[in-house]
């Protein structure tokens, strides 16, 4: 029987937490990028199945115009500057724009249906406008409602999984297309 240390390495996948206002990109096939507790925040994954390059953004606010200094210091805090930085980073790792598989989760609404402070809805609107300008589209989404979500991108398979508050198991939001051209 293998030692416990060796047994735990079988099927090992390194989990990297993408913190609030951060973004992470990688081409490491043994990595899973995870954003926890997505309430009104948006988790956005991008993945190129040919080069197996992916990234995740955990954005808090829709528009960096509220603080240019903060956007320069931490672009992932905002949907607009965060997505631009995320796309630049995956393109630098050879991801192809026409192959990107984009998934989104979060954007929940916790403070009433009609207020200006509906950050979740504003985050999602900002993202969809930005993607439209870039000529990109969303493959799968789980947004809105009044539930917190945890989102993971498994880089080896290009699979995006979700776990919503109150659920015991992860569900697959999107199963990436393997090695398309």
How much is the pTM?
0.89
Question: Per-residue confidence at 11, pLDDT binned at 50, 70, 90?
Answer: low
Taking CA atoms, 42 is separated from 3, 14, 22, 36, 181, in Å, by: 41, 22, 11, 11, 29
Report phi then psi at 132, rounded to 5. -60, -45
User: Residue range 72-81: average pLDDT?
Assistant: 96
Q: What is the pLDDT of residues 43-69, one digit of tens each?
A: 999 999 999 999 999 999 999 999 999
Which region among 14-28, 36-50, 109-123 has the lowest average model confidence (pLDDT)?
109-123
Q: Helix, strand, coil shares of the chain as percentages rounded to 5?
A: 30, 35, 40
With 80 as the cut, is the pLDDT of residue 12 above it?
A: no
Q: What is the pLDDT of residues 117-175, one digit of tens each?
A: 789 999 999 999 999 999 999 999 999 999 999 999 999 999 999 999 888 899 999 99
CATH 3.40.50.300 given to domain 14-175: no
CB count in 10 Å sphere of residue 137:
11
Q: State residue 165's pLDDT score.
A: 87
Domain layout of the chain by residue ranges: 14-175
Q: Which residue has the tokens 């990028």?
A: 33
Q: Find the farthest-apart pair of alpha carbons in the chain and give their distance in angstroms, rounded.
A: 60
Question: Per-residue confidence at 116, pLDDT binned at 50, 70, 90?
Answer: low
């Amino acid at each position: 029987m293998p030692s416990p240390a060796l047994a735990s390495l079988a099927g090992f996948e390194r989990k990297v937490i993408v913190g609030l206002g951060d973004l992470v990109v990688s081409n490491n096939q043994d990595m899973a990028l995870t954003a926890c507790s997505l309430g009104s925040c948006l988790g956005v994954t991008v993945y190129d199945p040919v080069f197996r390059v992916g990234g995740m953004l955990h954005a808090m606010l829709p528009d960096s115009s509220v603080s240019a200094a903060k956007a320069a210091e931490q672009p992932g805090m905002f949907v607009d500057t965060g997505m631009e930085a995320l796309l630049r980073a995956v393109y630098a790792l050879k991801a192809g724009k026409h192959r990107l598989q984009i998934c989104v989760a979060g954007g929940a609404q916790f403070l009433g249906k009609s207020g200006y402070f509906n950050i979740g809805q504003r985050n999602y609107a900002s993202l969809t406008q930005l993607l439209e300008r870039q000529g990109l589209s969303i493959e799968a989404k789980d947004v809105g409602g009044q539930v917190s979500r945890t989102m993971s991108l498994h880089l080896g398979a290009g699979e995006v999984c979700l776990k919503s508050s109150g659920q015991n198991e992860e569900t697959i939001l999107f199963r990436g297309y393997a090695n398309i051209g």
